[in-house]
Amino acid sequence: MTKSEIEHSVNLSGNYYKFYSVLALLNHNKNRKIGTVIAESKDKLIIVDNMIKREHVYLIPKTKVDHYNDKRMYFDLSENSLRDYEM
Look up the CATH architecture of domain 3-79.
Answer: Roll (2.30)
Cβ atoms within 10 Å of 51's Cβ, excluding its own? 12
The pLDDT tens digits of the residues spanning 18-59 come to 566 889 999 876 678 999 998 888 889 999 987 656 678 999
The kind and range of the H/E element at 58 are strand 56-61
**Residues whose CB falls within 8 Å of the CB of residue 72, separated by 6 or more in sequence, listed in order:** 22, 23, 24, 25
The confidence band for 85, taking pLDDT boundaries of 50, 70 and 90, is very high
Percent of the residues in the chain that have a pLDDT greater than 70, as a whole number: 70
6: amino acid identity, one letter: I
30: amino acid identity, one letter: K
Sheet holding 56-61, edge to edge: 56-61, 44-49, 29-40, 17-26, 72-75, 65-68
